[in-house]
A and B are shown apart, each in its own frame.
Chain A
Amino acid sequence: MNWQQVINGLTIGSIYSIVALGYTLVFGVLQILNMAHGEIFMMGAFIGLMMVVKFQAPLPVAFLAAVLVTAILGYLLERFALRPLRGKAGVSHLAPLISTIGVSIFLENLAHHWFGAETHPFPVSFATISYQIGGVKISLVQLTIFIISITLMVGLSLWLSRTKAGTALRATAENIETASLLGVNTQKIITLTVVIASVMGGIAGVLVGMAFNAVSPQMGLEIGLKGLAIIILGGMGNIKGAMVGGLILGMTEVMSVAFGYSGYRDAIAFLMIIVILLIRPQGLFGQSAPQVRK
């Protein structure tokens, strides 16, 4: 086992998990694929980058700014692209999918206009610092990414399972009508869900910028597709599935590069997803059928 590659795989994989969590939260509550998630992620990356480059802000401030802006973007997305289509007679169930695609195109063009089409490097002041543990080299950037991702995942899980609002979110995801009958303001929960998902995307954006030292207006598309693949792999709407799925994808990518197939990296990763889905069509943690008994 090559531990160096395991560390690399976990680092990338944990970011993928965060991206996928954003998708799966929104899908769980709204049964909608939020196609703008990748572009909100990209916006988060640019905001973080601008804070570091233009304003020489320290990294925590860059993260805070990305969180703030993507939270607002998430709110606007829900308010103007999703809510007007909800619960109206005659609206196709594909309409919200299309409207989020519209938002994604808009955001990508906006980024082109504001930041230019080129790929920007993401300077990190501590990029050269790394630690040697046994035979394994861990850079401080990797460590930062890993700690932030794990904290986010653990935090989200605890919030969902232990708090009243988190439980209300799960109830809304399971059955929105029932949740409202139990006294949950489901509109509020939906808004909260889209905002949390967007913030996770925004943080992931800054992390990817740091990890690959590159930020561009197109970066949302690639990561967006990976995020979608992960939630299908893990089981649509499933939190654990998104986390584990992200780690599996990251690990597979890194390992295929390590074994010398770097040109086939994405092909191998997606081939593996296809194989897993052939064995478990409902995804790793998805349920094949509702367990409700009469």
Chain B
Amino acid sequence: MLTVKGLEAYYGNIRALKGIDLDVKEGSIVTIIGANGAGKTTTMKAISGLLNPRNGSIQFMGQDITGLRPDQRVSMGISLVPEGRAILSGMSVLENLEMGAYHRNDQEVKQDLENVMDRFPILRERIHQAGGTLSGGQQQMLAIARALMARPKLLLLDEPSMGLAPLIVADIFKIIQEINQEGTTVLLVEQNVKQALKIADYAYVLETGKIVTSGTADELLDDSRVVEAYLGGGHSS
């Protein structure tokens, strides 16, 4: 569904991505794991169109989307829930959700709005409250719900568990799994490696702008280097 080839991106003169190849199969959950500064968010920005790569190509459902604007990619079915959630804090929960369906003109927007509020009942309770007044976990739910309003084929999630209490993290991961089972392909960037590998079908490990290893989640869980570096295996941490 998504094929990234030789992706290179720069911030000024700093080469943040040094040629990344990755492949996301339709219907799967793929995760990119790695330390801070490895280039995970940069990769997501490049896929969503926020950042123009200097080299490489991004193909989505057989089409080259490398030069397209973010809004054009949204219309094609790629939605990003960015790191930090990016809630429109001055706008109400309802307006945030409606903005999620901005590119749609079909009659089912209303029904989808009901569906996401069924999935996240807290949003129904807070529907007229300003987005900025929600708690961190609620904002994450709003950010995911808002992305779903676009009816994405590929949902990009950048650090959805960041800064959230463990109970809420478990909730969020359960919801990601449900969304995937309903047919949305998911590309997930996470520092919470244990949780990410638990739900992912396939994983890439990113280190200083390069993919150093990849495999099915089970393969990576058996890989001593991965366990040691990211799961604290062998060390008391």
Distance between Cα atoms of A184 and B73 in the complex (Å): 11
Is B136 close to A, CB under 8 A? yes
Instruction: Indicate which residue in A177, A181, A290 contacts B89 across the interface (CB closer than 8 Å).
Output: A290
Is B54 close to A, CB under 8 A? no
Asked if residues A175 and B88 are in contact (CB atoms below 8 Å), the reply is yes
Asked if residues A174 and B91 are in contact (CB atoms below 8 Å), the reply is yes
Is A171 close to B, CB under 8 A? yes
CB-CB < 8 A to A164: which residues of B? Answer: 102
Residue tally, chain A, CB below 8 Å to B: 24
Is B232 close to A, CB under 8 A? no
Asked if residues A168 and B102 are in contact (CB atoms below 8 Å), the reply is yes
CB-CB < 8 A to A168: which residues of B? Answer: 99, 102
Is B234 close to A, CB under 8 A? no
Asked if residues A183 and B74 are in contact (CB atoms below 8 Å), the reply is yes
Asked if residues B71 and A185 are in contact (CB atoms below 8 Å), the reply is yes
Asked if residues A183 and B150 are in contact (CB atoms below 8 Å), the reply is yes
CB-CB < 8 A to B90: which residues of A? Answer: 170, 174, 291
CB distance from B82 to the nearest CB of A (A): 6
Distance between Cα atoms of A64 and B90 in the complex (Å): 35
Q: Would A171 and B132 be within 8 Å (CB), given that A181-B79, A182-B146 are in contact?
A: no
Instruction: Indicate which residue in B48, B86, B95 contacts A167 across the interface (CB closer than 8 Å).
Output: B95
* A161 and chain B: residue at smallest CB distance: B95
Is A151 close to B, CB under 8 A? no
Is B39 close to A, CB under 8 A? no
CB-CB < 8 A to B168: which residues of A? Answer: none
CB distance from A287 to the nearest CB of B (A): 8
Asked if residues A180 and B89 are in contact (CB atoms below 8 Å), the reply is no
Q: Would A180 and B91 be within 8 Å (CB), given that A167-B99, A294-B136 are in contact?
A: no
CB distance from A291 to the nearest CB of B (A): 4
Q: Which residues 158-202 of A have a CB within 8 angstroms of B? A: 164, 167-168, 170-171, 174-175, 177-187
Asked if residues A178 and B102 are in contact (CB atoms below 8 Å), the reply is no
CB distance from A150 to the nearest CB of B (A): 25
* A168 and chain B: residue at smallest CB distance: B102
Instruction: Indicate which residue in A181, A185, A291 contacts B132 across the interface (CB closer than 8 Å).
Output: A291
Distance between Cα atoms of A182 and B150 in the complex (Å): 8
Asked if residues B133 and A178 are in contact (CB atoms below 8 Å), the reply is no
CB-CB < 8 A to A294: which residues of B? Answer: 136, 163
CB-CB < 8 A to B91: which residues of A? Answer: 167, 170-171, 174
Q: Would A291 and B89 be within 8 Å (CB), given that A168-B102, A181-B80, A183-B150 are in contact?
A: yes
* B102 and chain A: residue at smallest CB distance: A183
Asked if residues A178 and B132 are in contact (CB atoms below 8 Å), the reply is no
Asked if residues A184 and B102 are in contact (CB atoms below 8 Å), the reply is yes
Most interface-central of A182, A184, A290, A291 (chain B CB within 10 A) = A182
CB-CB < 8 A to B25: which residues of A? Answer: none
Distance between Cα atoms of A1 and B103 in the complex (Å): 53
B residues within 8 Å of A by Cβ?
12, 48-50, 69-71, 74-75, 79-80, 82, 86-91, 95, 98-100, 102-103, 130, 132-136, 146, 150, 163
Apart from the given pairs A182-B102, A183-B150, A293-B134, 20 other A-B contacts in the complex at a CB distance below 8 Å: A164-B102, A171-B91, A174-B89, A174-B90, A177-B86, A178-B86, A180-B69, A181-B50, A181-B74, A181-B82, A181-B86, A182-B100, A182-B150, A183-B70, A183-B71, A183-B74, A183-B75, A184-B99, A290-B89, A291-B133
A-B contact pairs, 11 of them (CB 8 A): A167-B98, A167-B99, A168-B99, A171-B99, A174-B89, A177-B86, A178-B82, A183-B102, A183-B150, A293-B133, A293-B135
